[in-house]
Structure 1
Amino acid sequence: AADIMVATGAHVTGLFADDKKIVGCRIARADGGEEHLACKALVLACNGYGGNPDLVKQHIPEMANAVYHGHAGNRGDAVLWGEQLGAELRHLSGYQGHGSLAFPQQILITWAVMMEGGIQVNASGERFSNEHGGYSEQAVNVLAQPGGFAWNVYDRRIHDFALNFPDYREAFEAGAIRTAPDARALASAISVHPDKLEAALSAVGEMQCGATADPFGRDFTTKAALVAPFYAVKVTGALFHTQGGLVVDETARVLDLDAFPFPNLFATGGAACGVSGPDVSGYLSGNGLLTAIALGYLAGAAAGTSR
């Protein structure tokens, strides 16, 4: 309706700049051909760098060996181009992780399992953290466990509740969910120490009735106690998307190292520095959508008036 050409099968491999003004880009076609396309304004909406192992290792070393649960095309083009142009980059160590990706199926297990009363145990059958600390930072805690994985442990009430989520149903249909009639049988099913798993569930029961306090600081009294039969799913910590990137102004224009805007270069979504800050704990649900939609709107409005 807006008479905008959409070019598919066209991979942008570089930008052309005249001083600080972007004058065009280089495009590689699937058949090996190359084209140069001029522009009055350029909006970088090419996400972050989660699909670039070298950049992840450099800026987020704790996630260097994590599963990347995002689009493989997120190679950090905007970060690399911006660096070449002299743009300011900030909070490249910020990201969204997730501590509950089914392994090896790589299906997201809703964090509602934890919020409804479930727990995580490691390969020994022991709890290792406050599961209510946040699903993003929990990725780091899970990866720090032996083998880099954990087990989500919960009961039938939570299992039935989780079936309302399509991803969980997919994991269930894929055979990722284990079940057993009691704690020791579950320990056998997931190959953890039966005494330790039984002790962990017993301790949680005491905390859920208020008899003892959780050494990790979690409040268990707000949800019903876990009761047999029990369910479990093996999970790992994953990187979902990066949150740092090009610093922009109030119109989504990219800023240089002296805080002056490039006249016709804009960044949105994962290409831009978001509001999550420099650490995994700064991520809140929706932060990625915030930069995508809010900055996308601002960039579109400003780019449309660029000369």
Structure 2
Amino acid sequence: MAKIESIEGTAPLSRRSFLSGAVALGAAAATFALAGCAPRSMAQERADSVIDGGGYDIVVVGAGGAGMAAAIGAHDQGARVLLLEKMPVAGGNTCFAEGGMNACETRFQAAAGIEDSVELFAADTFKGGHRKGNRELIDHMCRNSNDAVEWLAGMGIVLSKLSTSGGASVKRIHRPESGEAVGKYIVKGLAEQCRQRGISAVCNTKVEQVLMDGERVAGVRATDPHGMTVEYRAQAVIVTTGGFGANHEMLAGYRPELLNAVTTNQPGSQGDGIAFCQAIGADTVDMDQIQVHPTVEQTTATLLSEGIRGDGAILVNAEGVRFTNELLTRDVVSANEWKQTGGGAWAVFDRHVRESNKSIEEKFEKRRIIQVANTYAELAEKMGVPTDAFVSTMEGYNAAIDAGEDDPLGRTKARNPIVLPPFYAVAVAPGIHHCMGGLRVNADAQVLNAAGDPIPGLFAAGEVTGGLHGGNRLGGNAVCDISVNGIQAQKTACSYVFAS
């Protein structure tokens, strides 16, 4: 079986990523993988037995952002915690989060003179989700978003840079000041906090079943890298396994038209947590609500952050013409792209945007999936769009901003002139990005059964849950979700454990 160690006691691994060509996690996250495993011969001899993995107060299943937040919080409350991860390294889909974290009434907004409120944040989220989201879950996330920002900042994970995302009334997306991708930044920070605390963790171990003692959760049964069955006993289980955005068969069961679509999800996003919770009576909600993201580079499934549009990038079609307000919600922008020739677009921006987003160099320039030129005409030639039309689009866009004229496509935010060479363009089209549906939970992160009653000892947070985002997730709300609800899950779980 995989050796149970504290993170601090593990051997560092070389830098690696979940997907070929994906963003490497960095040393702090890489050391979160466990290197110790039993010899193969021992595994073969014991393959038919069930190994006792020990007893804990809480087992957290899934070491992404929500899972690590839950493990840290539970540890700090005095619980004996075990963190399980089926992939070789920590991070999950959080590693691929690019834009930032939505939050309201933060000190960073106050310093920038931005007026925001729980009510406005909640209204934007409800509207952005086509008025299908669970208002209780929405209010809880928005009301606790500032506390989550401060909780992260207290551990040195500071999100102080503000930007705009589609569907937001004000600047409320919080990013690292350095401009690096928010997910990688948070994963490195949380993994380091887990390491410092000596939180016990096992990677390469897939949970197959939640164990029950009557109607109460009693632990989990898992398979280790050698195929051995291991049982971990616990009074509470927190499920933070993510969605099913990389399980095309499962996706097609709800949205057949997405069968062949590219996905931005890491390969571990298979819906495991949903399945093993359903097996003990957990209910689900909104399973057919699957989000596509409008700016995905199709040959590599690389996500171009929404923050890049929030900093001023525009979209043009194969004719070199703008066709949409780039800061509408993701589903609307995606639908508008699908109507264009070839079903995609070019994201166009200048040096100002490039310098504010470090991920452009790491994810696009180094992989040579970006066009760069010093003039509009030269860029048009590299893009393969009509030069005259593209130059006219760019000059007209800039002139309208300088003249203070309204945007004919209705864009009112982040209308920045694109005038600082060099100029950049990335070919994009919609790709599978997020599953809004999942386990039905309440605001205390308790998993509910079909009757709406909590399953004793079972909690969940993050993309494995449903109901919060409704029919569409706003950019920046996923990181808010995993942070707020990862914290909430451990609070409720600890209260449950300590009370019993």
Please give the TM-score of this superposition, normalised by the length of structure 2.
0.53
The 8 Å contact of residues 235 and 497 in structure 2, kept in 1 or not, is answered as no
Deviations 1:35-58 (A, max 9, x none): 344433222121111121123223
- Of 253, 264, 270, 1:75 maps to 270
What CA distance in whole angstroms lies between the structure 2 residues aligned with 1:235 and 1:127? Answer: 14
Which residue is equivalent to 1:256? 449
Which residue is equivalent to 2:318? 123
Q: Which moved more, 1:252-261 or 1:171-180?
A: 171-180
Say yes or no: does 1:276 pair with 2:276. Answer: no
Change (3 A) 1:187 1:282: closer
Unaligned runs of at least 5 residues, structure 1: none
3-state SS of 2:269 partner: coil
Per the TM alignment, residue 167 of structure 1 is displaced from its structure 2 partner at its CA by: 0.8
Which residue is equivalent to 1:237? 430
Say yes or no: does 1:174 pair with 2:356. Answer: no
Per the TM alignment, residue 266 of structure 1 is displaced from its structure 2 partner at its CA by: 1.3
The 8 Å contact of residues 163 and 169 in structure 1, kept in 2 or not, is answered as no
- Of 359, 377, 382, 1:189 maps to 382
What CA distance in whole angstroms lies between the structure 2 residues aligned with 1:293 and 1:41? Answer: 14
What CA distance in whole angstroms lies between the structure 2 residues aligned with 1:261 and 1:102? Answer: 41
Per the TM alignment, residue 301 of structure 1 is displaced from its structure 2 partner at its CA by: 1.9
What CA distance in whole angstroms lies between the structure 2 residues aligned with 1:165 and 1:280? Answer: 22
What CA distance in whole angstroms lies between the structure 2 residues aligned with 1:212 and 1:62? Answer: 40
Change (3 A) 1:185 1:90: same
3-state SS of 2:425 partner: strand
Which structure: greater helix fraction? 2
Say yes or no: does 1:55 pair with 2:247. Answer: no
- Of 394, 397, 400, 1:207 maps to 400
The 8 Å contact of residues 350 and 418 in structure 2, kept in 1 or not, is answered as no
3-state SS of 1:304 partner: helix
Please give the TM-score of this superposition, normalised by the length of structure 1.
0.81
What CA distance in whole angstroms lies between the structure 1 residues aligned with 2:313 and 2:443? Answer: 42
Change (3 A) 1:144 1:154: same
Which residue is equivalent to 1:113? 308
Change (3 A) 1:45 1:110: closer
3-state SS of 2:477 partner: coil
Change (3 A) 1:196 1:285: farther
What CA distance in whole angstroms lies between the structure 1 residues aligned with 2:354 and 2:263? Answer: 24
* Letter in structure 2 aligned against 1:208: I
What CA distance in whole angstroms lies between the structure 1 residues aligned with 2:266 and 2:334? Answer: 18
Change (3 A) 1:30 1:185: same
What CA distance in whole angstroms lies between the structure 1 residues aligned with 2:378 and 2:201? Answer: 57
Q: Which moved more, 1:237-246 or 1:91-100?
A: 91-100
What CA distance in whole angstroms lies between the structure 2 residues aligned with 1:83 and 1:306? Answer: 26
Per the TM alignment, residue 189 of structure 1 is displaced from its structure 2 partner at its CA by: 0.8
Per the TM alignment, residue 140 of structure 1 is displaced from its structure 2 partner at its CA by: 4.7
What CA distance in whole angstroms lies between the structure 2 residues aligned with 1:128 and 1:74? Answer: 33
The 8 Å contact of residues 375 and 422 in structure 2, kept in 1 or not, is answered as yes
Change (3 A) 1:13 1:143: farther
The 8 Å contact of residues 463 and 482 in structure 2, kept in 1 or not, is answered as no
* Letter in structure 1 aligned against 2:438: G
Deviations 1:25-73 (A, max 9, x none): 3322222222344433222121111121123223455654433222211
Per the TM alignment, residue 172 of structure 1 is displaced from its structure 2 partner at its CA by: 2.2
Per the TM alignment, residue 120 of structure 1 is displaced from its structure 2 partner at its CA by: 0.7
3-state SS of 2:201 partner: coil
Per the TM alignment, residue 222 of structure 1 is displaced from its structure 2 partner at its CA by: 4.5
Change (3 A) 1:144 1:56: farther
Change (3 A) 1:143 1:81: farther
Which residue is equivalent to 2:357? 165
Which residue is equivalent to 2:241? 46
Q: Which moved more, 1:13-22 or 1:124-133?
A: 13-22
